[in-house]
Copies of this chain bind each other. A is one copy, B any other.
Amino acid sequence: MKFSTLFTKTKKDIAKTDSVNAELLIRGGFVDQLSAGVYTYLPLGLRVLRKIENIIRDEMNKAGGQELLMPAMHPKWNWQQTGRWDSLDVLFKVVGQLSGDEMALGPTHEEVITPLASKFMFSYKDLPKYVYQIQDKFRDEARPKSGLLRTREFLMKDLYSFHTDEKDLDKYYTVMEEAYSNIFASCGIGKETVLTYASGGSFSKYSHEYQTICETGEDTIYLCAKCNVAVNKEIITEQKTCPECGNKALTEKKAIEVGNIFKLKDKFSKAFGFKYTGKDNKEKYVEMGCYGIGLGRVLATIVEVSHDDRGIIWPESVAPYDVHLVDINGTKKETKEIHKKLTEAGLEVLWDDREESAGVKLSDADLLGIPERIVVSSKTIKAGKIELKKRDSDKEELLSLADYLKRK
Protein backbone atom coordinates (compact mmCIF):
# COMPACT_ATOMS: atom_id res chain seq x y z
CA MET A 1 0.00 0.00 0.00
CA LYS A 2 1.30 3.41 -0.94
CA PHE A 3 0.94 6.01 1.80
CA SER A 4 -0.09 8.62 -0.78
CA THR A 5 -3.17 6.58 -1.73
CA LEU A 6 -4.26 5.81 1.87
CA PHE A 7 -7.74 7.08 2.75
CA THR A 8 -6.31 8.68 5.90
CA LYS A 9 -3.60 11.17 6.80
CA THR A 10 -1.72 11.42 10.08
CA LYS A 11 -2.61 14.41 12.28
CA LYS A 12 -0.30 16.56 14.37
CA ASP A 13 -2.96 18.35 16.33
CA ILE A 14 -6.23 16.81 17.38
CA ALA A 15 -8.88 17.75 19.94
CA LYS A 16 -7.92 16.75 23.50
CA THR A 17 -8.56 13.07 24.22
CA ASP A 18 -9.06 11.28 27.53
CA SER A 19 -6.47 8.55 27.00
CA VAL A 20 -3.19 7.59 25.35
CA ASN A 21 -4.90 5.00 23.16
CA ALA A 22 -7.40 7.49 21.73
CA GLU A 23 -4.70 10.10 21.13
CA LEU A 24 -2.27 7.84 19.29
CA LEU A 25 -4.94 5.92 17.38
CA ILE A 26 -6.64 9.11 16.18
CA ARG A 27 -3.38 10.91 15.33
CA GLY A 28 -2.16 7.87 13.37
CA GLY A 29 -5.42 7.53 11.43
CA PHE A 30 -6.33 4.16 12.94
CA VAL A 31 -9.70 5.27 14.27
CA ASP A 32 -12.01 8.28 14.14
CA GLN A 33 -14.33 9.34 16.92
CA LEU A 34 -17.89 9.87 15.64
CA SER A 35 -19.42 10.75 19.02
CA ALA A 36 -19.03 9.97 22.73
CA GLY A 37 -17.97 6.31 22.92
CA VAL A 38 -18.59 5.63 19.23
CA TYR A 39 -15.65 5.07 16.84
CA THR A 40 -14.97 4.23 13.20
CA TYR A 41 -12.16 1.79 12.42
CA LEU A 42 -10.25 3.39 9.55
CA PRO A 43 -8.32 1.17 7.09
CA LEU A 44 -5.16 1.01 9.25
CA GLY A 45 -7.14 0.31 12.43
CA LEU A 46 -9.32 -2.29 10.75
CA ARG A 47 -6.21 -4.21 9.68
CA VAL A 48 -5.15 -4.43 13.34
CA LEU A 49 -8.67 -5.33 14.44
CA ARG A 50 -8.89 -8.17 11.87
CA LYS A 51 -5.61 -9.64 13.09
CA ILE A 52 -6.87 -9.63 16.68
CA GLU A 53 -10.15 -11.13 15.43
CA ASN A 54 -8.35 -13.97 13.63
CA ILE A 55 -6.18 -14.76 16.67
CA ILE A 56 -9.35 -15.03 18.77
CA ARG A 57 -11.25 -17.03 16.12
CA ASP A 58 -8.42 -19.57 15.81
CA GLU A 59 -8.40 -20.18 19.55
CA MET A 60 -12.19 -20.49 19.74
CA ASN A 61 -12.19 -23.00 16.86
CA LYS A 62 -9.40 -25.00 18.54
CA ALA A 63 -11.57 -25.12 21.68
CA GLY A 64 -14.40 -26.69 19.65
CA GLY A 65 -16.39 -23.50 19.18
CA GLN A 66 -18.79 -23.23 16.24
CA GLU A 67 -19.19 -19.71 14.90
CA LEU A 68 -22.60 -18.13 14.35
CA LEU A 69 -23.85 -14.56 14.13
CA MET A 70 -26.76 -13.33 16.22
CA PRO A 71 -28.54 -10.05 15.57
CA ALA A 72 -28.07 -6.86 17.62
CA MET A 73 -31.82 -6.14 17.77
CA HIS A 74 -33.68 -8.28 20.32
CA PRO A 75 -37.39 -8.50 21.16
CA LYS A 76 -38.50 -7.13 24.54
CA TRP A 77 -39.95 -10.58 25.39
CA ASN A 78 -36.51 -12.23 25.66
CA TRP A 79 -35.23 -9.60 28.10
CA GLN A 80 -38.42 -9.79 30.15
CA GLN A 81 -37.92 -13.51 30.75
CA THR A 82 -34.76 -12.82 32.74
CA GLY A 83 -35.97 -9.60 34.34
CA ARG A 84 -33.14 -7.67 32.72
CA TRP A 85 -35.49 -5.51 30.55
CA ASP A 86 -36.05 -3.46 33.71
CA SER A 87 -32.94 -4.16 35.79
CA LEU A 88 -30.08 -3.65 33.31
CA ASP A 89 -29.40 0.08 33.19
CA VAL A 90 -27.06 -0.07 30.19
CA LEU A 91 -29.75 -1.60 27.94
CA PHE A 92 -30.51 0.60 24.91
CA LYS A 93 -34.22 0.39 24.02
CA VAL A 94 -35.73 1.05 20.59
CA VAL A 95 -39.34 1.34 19.46
CA GLY A 96 -40.45 0.62 15.89
CA GLN A 97 -42.26 3.82 14.85
CA LEU A 98 -44.86 2.12 12.70
CA SER A 99 -45.06 -1.33 14.29
CA GLY A 100 -44.86 -0.18 17.92
CA ASP A 101 -42.55 -3.15 18.60
CA GLU A 102 -40.24 -2.63 21.59
CA MET A 103 -36.73 -3.95 21.16
CA ALA A 104 -33.36 -3.93 22.93
CA LEU A 105 -29.89 -3.51 21.42
CA GLY A 106 -27.91 -6.44 22.77
CA PRO A 107 -25.11 -5.66 25.27
CA THR A 108 -24.68 -9.46 25.59
CA HIS A 109 -26.54 -12.46 24.15
CA GLU A 110 -27.63 -14.88 26.88
CA GLU A 111 -31.23 -13.81 26.23
CA VAL A 112 -30.92 -14.87 22.57
CA ILE A 113 -28.60 -17.89 22.67
CA THR A 114 -30.49 -19.71 25.45
CA PRO A 115 -33.89 -20.04 23.69
CA LEU A 116 -32.01 -20.62 20.40
CA ALA A 117 -29.98 -23.51 21.82
CA SER A 118 -33.15 -25.02 23.28
CA LYS A 119 -34.40 -25.56 19.72
CA PHE A 120 -31.56 -27.99 18.98
CA MET A 121 -30.61 -29.67 22.28
CA PHE A 122 -32.91 -32.18 23.92
CA SER A 123 -30.84 -35.07 25.24
CA TYR A 124 -27.57 -35.62 27.07
CA LYS A 125 -26.36 -36.92 23.69
CA ASP A 126 -26.60 -33.37 22.32
CA LEU A 127 -24.24 -32.01 25.00
CA PRO A 128 -21.72 -30.45 25.43
CA LYS A 129 -21.85 -27.77 22.71
CA TYR A 130 -19.91 -24.53 22.28
CA VAL A 131 -20.93 -21.63 20.05
CA TYR A 132 -19.49 -18.16 19.63
CA GLN A 133 -19.79 -15.02 17.60
CA ILE A 134 -17.73 -11.91 16.89
CA GLN A 135 -20.39 -9.26 16.82
CA ASP A 136 -21.36 -5.65 17.49
CA LYS A 137 -22.63 -4.85 21.00
CA PHE A 138 -24.26 -1.77 22.53
CA ARG A 139 -24.13 -0.34 26.07
CA ASP A 140 -25.91 2.81 27.18
CA GLU A 141 -22.91 4.24 29.02
CA ALA A 142 -23.75 7.58 30.60
CA ARG A 143 -20.13 8.69 30.31
CA PRO A 144 -18.06 6.69 27.83
CA LYS A 145 -14.35 7.16 28.55
CA SER A 146 -10.77 6.05 28.08
CA GLY A 147 -10.87 5.97 24.29
CA LEU A 148 -11.71 2.51 23.00
CA LEU A 149 -11.75 1.03 26.51
CA ARG A 150 -15.28 2.06 27.51
CA THR A 151 -17.55 2.68 24.53
CA ARG A 152 -21.23 2.62 23.62
CA GLU A 153 -20.75 0.35 20.61
CA PHE A 154 -18.09 -2.35 20.45
CA LEU A 155 -17.12 -5.60 18.78
CA MET A 156 -17.07 -8.53 21.16
CA LYS A 157 -16.32 -12.22 20.96
CA ASP A 158 -18.84 -14.04 23.12
CA LEU A 159 -18.76 -17.81 23.45
CA TYR A 160 -21.51 -19.77 25.21
CA SER A 161 -21.06 -23.33 26.44
CA PHE A 162 -23.77 -25.89 27.28
CA HIS A 163 -23.23 -28.83 29.61
CA THR A 164 -25.02 -31.68 31.33
CA ASP A 165 -23.54 -30.86 34.74
CA GLU A 166 -21.23 -28.55 36.65
CA LYS A 167 -18.32 -30.96 36.46
CA ASP A 168 -18.36 -30.78 32.68
CA LEU A 169 -18.72 -26.99 32.85
CA ASP A 170 -15.69 -26.84 35.19
CA LYS A 171 -13.67 -28.88 32.70
CA TYR A 172 -14.49 -26.55 29.82
CA TYR A 173 -13.82 -23.50 32.01
CA THR A 174 -10.15 -24.55 32.20
CA VAL A 175 -10.07 -25.08 28.41
CA MET A 176 -11.21 -21.48 28.01
CA GLU A 177 -8.67 -20.26 30.59
CA GLU A 178 -5.95 -21.74 28.42
CA ALA A 179 -7.45 -20.31 25.22
CA TYR A 180 -7.55 -16.85 26.81
CA SER A 181 -3.91 -17.13 27.91
CA ASN A 182 -2.96 -18.04 24.35
CA ILE A 183 -4.94 -15.11 22.92
CA PHE A 184 -3.38 -12.50 25.20
CA ALA A 185 0.08 -13.96 24.62
CA SER A 186 -0.43 -13.87 20.82
CA CYS A 187 -1.61 -10.27 21.02
CA GLY A 188 1.56 -9.30 22.86
CA ILE A 189 -0.07 -8.53 26.23
CA GLY A 190 0.40 -11.98 27.80
CA LYS A 191 2.93 -10.90 30.41
CA GLU A 192 0.83 -7.95 31.58
CA THR A 193 -2.53 -9.77 31.64
CA VAL A 194 -3.55 -11.62 34.79
CA LEU A 195 -6.49 -13.80 35.74
CA THR A 196 -8.43 -11.80 38.29
CA TYR A 197 -10.92 -13.09 40.83
CA ALA A 198 -13.96 -10.91 40.20
CA SER A 199 -16.04 -12.15 43.11
CA GLY A 200 -15.20 -13.31 46.59
CA GLY A 201 -15.80 -16.14 49.04
CA SER A 202 -17.54 -19.29 47.87
CA PHE A 203 -18.50 -17.55 44.64
CA SER A 204 -14.86 -16.95 43.66
CA LYS A 205 -14.68 -19.84 41.23
CA TYR A 206 -17.69 -18.73 39.17
CA SER A 207 -16.40 -15.57 37.60
CA HIS A 208 -13.02 -14.31 36.50
CA GLU A 209 -11.85 -11.23 34.69
CA TYR A 210 -8.69 -10.81 32.67
CA GLN A 211 -7.02 -7.56 33.69
CA THR A 212 -4.06 -6.02 31.92
CA ILE A 213 -1.73 -4.15 34.22
CA CYS A 214 -0.92 -0.66 32.96
CA GLU A 215 -0.44 2.72 34.61
CA THR A 216 -3.46 4.27 32.92
CA GLY A 217 -5.86 1.47 33.92
CA GLU A 218 -9.22 2.46 35.34
CA ASP A 219 -9.54 -0.49 37.76
CA THR A 220 -7.55 -1.28 40.91
CA ILE A 221 -6.46 -4.89 41.44
CA TYR A 222 -4.32 -6.68 44.06
CA LEU A 223 -1.70 -8.89 42.51
CA CYS A 224 0.00 -11.99 43.98
CA ALA A 225 3.57 -11.99 42.67
CA LYS A 226 3.90 -15.72 43.39
CA CYS A 227 0.87 -17.01 41.49
CA ASN A 228 0.39 -14.16 38.99
CA VAL A 229 -3.32 -14.03 39.81
CA ALA A 230 -5.12 -11.02 41.21
CA VAL A 231 -8.28 -10.05 43.05
CA ASN A 232 -10.58 -7.14 42.27
CA LYS A 233 -10.76 -4.02 44.43
CA GLU A 234 -14.45 -4.77 45.01
CA ILE A 235 -13.65 -8.00 46.86
CA ILE A 236 -10.38 -7.13 48.58
CA THR A 237 -12.18 -6.52 51.88
CA GLU A 238 -13.41 -10.08 52.05
CA GLN A 239 -10.49 -11.72 50.24
CA LYS A 240 -7.29 -10.28 51.69
CA THR A 241 -5.12 -13.17 50.64
CA CYS A 242 -4.21 -14.70 47.30
CA PRO A 243 -7.05 -17.12 46.46
CA GLU A 244 -4.52 -19.61 45.03
CA CYS A 245 -1.69 -19.73 47.62
CA GLY A 246 -2.86 -17.70 50.61
CA ASN A 247 -0.03 -15.14 50.16
CA LYS A 248 -0.90 -12.02 52.16
CA ALA A 249 1.57 -9.66 50.45
CA LEU A 250 -0.57 -8.52 47.54
CA THR A 251 0.54 -5.49 45.51
CA GLU A 252 -1.88 -2.78 44.42
CA LYS A 253 -1.86 -2.20 40.65
CA LYS A 254 -3.80 -0.22 38.06
CA ALA A 255 -5.33 -2.45 35.33
CA ILE A 256 -8.85 -2.23 32.11
CA GLU A 257 -10.54 -5.43 31.86
CA VAL A 258 -9.93 -7.14 28.47
CA GLY A 259 -12.00 -10.28 28.93
CA ASN A 260 -14.16 -12.23 31.32
CA ILE A 261 -15.34 -15.78 31.92
CA PHE A 262 -18.47 -16.67 33.87
CA LYS A 263 -20.14 -19.83 35.07
CA LEU A 264 -23.77 -18.98 34.43
CA LYS A 265 -24.77 -22.38 35.85
CA ASP A 266 -28.56 -22.78 35.37
CA LYS A 267 -29.52 -19.10 35.74
CA PHE A 268 -30.50 -18.63 32.08
CA SER A 269 -31.65 -22.18 31.33
CA LYS A 270 -34.13 -21.82 34.23
CA ALA A 271 -35.40 -18.46 32.91
CA PHE A 272 -36.18 -20.05 29.52
CA GLY A 273 -37.15 -23.55 30.73
CA PHE A 274 -34.20 -25.04 28.84
CA LYS A 275 -33.99 -28.69 29.97
CA TYR A 276 -32.45 -31.86 28.58
CA THR A 277 -33.24 -35.52 29.21
CA GLY A 278 -30.44 -37.27 31.09
CA LYS A 279 -29.16 -40.84 30.82
CA ASP A 280 -31.49 -41.63 33.69
CA ASN A 281 -34.42 -40.37 31.58
CA LYS A 282 -34.98 -37.46 33.96
CA GLU A 283 -35.24 -33.82 32.85
CA LYS A 284 -32.55 -31.43 34.10
CA TYR A 285 -31.62 -27.82 33.45
CA VAL A 286 -28.67 -27.28 31.10
CA GLU A 287 -25.56 -25.80 32.78
CA MET A 288 -24.10 -22.85 30.91
CA GLY A 289 -20.91 -20.79 30.77
CA CYS A 290 -20.10 -17.58 28.94
CA TYR A 291 -16.76 -16.17 27.89
CA GLY A 292 -16.26 -12.65 26.48
CA ILE A 293 -13.46 -10.59 24.99
CA GLY A 294 -13.83 -7.02 23.75
CA LEU A 295 -11.83 -6.67 20.53
CA GLY A 296 -11.54 -2.89 20.71
CA ARG A 297 -10.44 -3.16 24.33
CA VAL A 298 -7.67 -5.57 23.39
CA LEU A 299 -6.56 -3.19 20.62
CA ALA A 300 -6.60 -0.17 22.95
CA THR A 301 -4.85 -2.14 25.69
CA ILE A 302 -2.02 -3.07 23.34
CA VAL A 303 -1.50 0.65 22.66
CA GLU A 304 -1.64 1.50 26.37
CA VAL A 305 1.06 -1.03 27.29
CA SER A 306 3.14 -0.71 24.13
CA HIS A 307 3.98 2.86 23.14
CA ASP A 308 6.57 5.55 23.79
CA ASP A 309 6.45 9.32 23.51
CA ARG A 310 6.83 9.13 19.73
CA GLY A 311 3.96 6.73 19.02
CA ILE A 312 2.66 3.17 19.01
CA ILE A 313 4.87 0.05 19.09
CA TRP A 314 2.74 -2.75 17.57
CA PRO A 315 3.61 -6.37 18.33
CA GLU A 316 4.32 -8.21 15.03
CA SER A 317 1.24 -10.42 15.38
CA VAL A 318 -1.25 -7.53 15.17
CA ALA A 319 0.68 -4.83 13.30
CA PRO A 320 -1.21 -3.28 10.37
CA TYR A 321 1.83 -3.94 8.14
CA ASP A 322 5.10 -5.83 8.62
CA VAL A 323 7.35 -3.20 7.06
CA HIS A 324 7.24 0.59 6.87
CA LEU A 325 9.26 1.45 3.76
CA VAL A 326 10.51 5.04 3.43
CA ASP A 327 12.16 6.62 0.41
CA ILE A 328 14.19 9.77 0.97
CA ASN A 329 16.47 11.96 -1.18
CA GLY A 330 14.75 11.13 -4.49
CA THR A 331 15.16 7.34 -4.40
CA LYS A 332 11.68 6.50 -5.65
CA LYS A 333 12.85 4.39 -8.58
CA GLU A 334 15.09 2.15 -6.46
CA THR A 335 12.50 1.97 -3.67
CA LYS A 336 9.88 0.79 -6.15
CA GLU A 337 12.07 -2.21 -6.95
CA ILE A 338 12.66 -2.93 -3.23
CA HIS A 339 8.91 -2.62 -2.57
CA LYS A 340 8.25 -5.19 -5.28
CA LYS A 341 10.75 -7.68 -3.81
CA LEU A 342 9.45 -7.26 -0.25
CA THR A 343 5.87 -7.80 -1.42
CA GLU A 344 6.85 -10.82 -3.51
CA ALA A 345 8.45 -12.29 -0.37
CA GLY A 346 4.99 -12.23 1.23
CA LEU A 347 5.60 -9.22 3.46
CA GLU A 348 2.86 -6.65 4.07
CA VAL A 349 4.44 -3.30 3.22
CA LEU A 350 3.32 0.28 3.75
CA TRP A 351 5.44 2.41 1.42
CA ASP A 352 5.64 6.07 2.40
CA ASP A 353 5.95 7.47 -1.12
CA ARG A 354 4.77 10.97 -0.16
CA GLU A 355 6.58 14.14 -1.21
CA GLU A 356 7.40 15.00 2.39
CA SER A 357 10.64 15.74 4.22
CA ALA A 358 12.65 12.90 5.77
CA GLY A 359 11.78 14.36 9.19
CA VAL A 360 8.03 14.15 8.60
CA LYS A 361 8.27 10.64 7.16
CA LEU A 362 10.42 9.25 9.98
CA SER A 363 8.28 10.78 12.69
CA ASP A 364 5.12 9.35 11.05
CA ALA A 365 6.82 5.93 10.96
CA ASP A 366 7.34 6.21 14.73
CA LEU A 367 3.72 7.31 15.24
CA LEU A 368 2.27 4.40 13.21
CA GLY A 369 4.43 1.87 15.03
CA ILE A 370 4.95 -0.76 12.32
CA PRO A 371 7.56 -3.23 13.70
CA GLU A 372 10.28 -2.72 11.08
CA ARG A 373 11.27 0.45 9.24
CA ILE A 374 13.36 0.27 6.07
CA VAL A 375 14.86 3.52 4.77
CA VAL A 376 16.14 3.87 1.23
CA SER A 377 18.36 6.93 0.79
CA SER A 378 21.12 8.01 -1.57
CA LYS A 379 23.54 6.82 1.15
CA THR A 380 22.06 3.31 1.39
CA ILE A 381 21.92 2.98 -2.39
CA LYS A 382 25.57 3.94 -2.69
CA ALA A 383 26.40 1.19 -0.18
CA GLY A 384 24.14 -1.32 -2.00
CA LYS A 385 22.19 -1.79 1.24
CA ILE A 386 19.00 -0.89 3.04
CA GLU A 387 18.76 0.73 6.46
CA LEU A 388 16.72 -1.35 8.91
CA LYS A 389 15.43 -0.15 12.28
CA LYS A 390 13.08 -1.98 14.56
CA ARG A 391 10.40 0.21 16.14
CA ASP A 392 11.25 -1.02 19.63
CA SER A 393 14.97 -0.32 19.25
CA ASP A 394 17.11 2.73 18.56
CA LYS A 395 19.75 0.87 16.56
CA GLU A 396 19.88 1.23 12.81
CA GLU A 397 21.46 -1.53 10.75
CA LEU A 398 22.79 -1.41 7.20
CA LEU A 399 22.36 -4.71 5.38
CA SER A 400 21.68 -6.03 1.89
CA LEU A 401 18.08 -6.67 0.87
CA ALA A 402 19.01 -10.30 0.21
CA ASP A 403 20.31 -10.71 3.78
CA TYR A 404 17.18 -9.08 5.15
CA LEU A 405 14.91 -11.40 3.17
CA LYS A 406 16.89 -14.45 4.29
CA ARG A 407 15.85 -13.68 7.89
CA LYS A 408 12.14 -13.76 7.00
Contacts and interface: CB of A to CB of B under 8 A. Distances in A.
Nearest to A91: B97
A152 B103 CA distance: 11
Interface stretch (A17-25, A72-80, A304-312, A358-366): A72-80
15 contacts: A6-B66, A7-B129, A7-B131, A34-B70, A35-B73, A40-B71, A46-B67, A49-B69, A72-B72, A89-B98, A92-B94, A94-B94, A96-B142, A98-B142, A99-B142
Contacts of A70: 34, 40
A41 interface: yes
Contacts of A41: 68-69
Nearest to A34: B71
A110 interface: no
A408 interface: no
A131 to B, nearest CB: 5
A230 to B, nearest CB: 30
A353 interface: no
Given A7-B120, A94-B94, A142-B99, A42 B71 contact: no
Contacts of A153: 71-73
Q: Is the interface of A mostly helix, strand, loop or mixed?
A: mixed
A159 to B, nearest CB: 12
A97 B101 contact: no
B68 A116 contact: no
Contacts of A129: 5, 7
A379 interface: no
Contacts of A38: 71, 73-75
Given A7-B129, A142-B96, A142-B99, A116 B40 contact: yes
B71 A7 contact: no
Given A9-B120, A93-B94, 15 more contacts: A7-B66, A29-B120, A32-B119, A34-B70, A34-B74, A35-B101, A38-B71, A38-B74, A40-B68, A40-B69, A43-B67, A49-B69, A72-B138, A72-B153, A73-B138
A39 interface: yes
The 10 nearest A-B residue pairs measured at CB: A98-B142, A41-B69, A35-B75, A43-B66, A40-B70, A38-B71, A7-B66, A71-B153, A73-B153, A9-B120
A342 interface: no
A8 interface: yes
B43 A68 contact: yes
Contacts of A166: none
A34 B140 contact: no
A116 B39 CA distance: 11
Nearest to A131: B7
A401 interface: no
Interface in A77-107: 89, 92-94, 96-99, 101, 103, 105
A309 B143 CA distance: 55
Contacts of A5: 129
Interface in A214-261: none
A45 B69 CA distance: 9
A40 B7 contact: no
A112 interface: yes
A59 interface: no
A105 B99 contact: no
A381 to B, nearest CB: 27
A36 interface: yes
Contacts of A34: 70-71, 74-75, 112, 116
A6, A38, A71, A138, most chain B CB atoms within 10 A: A71
Contacts of A119: 32
Contacts of A68: 7, 40-43, 45-46
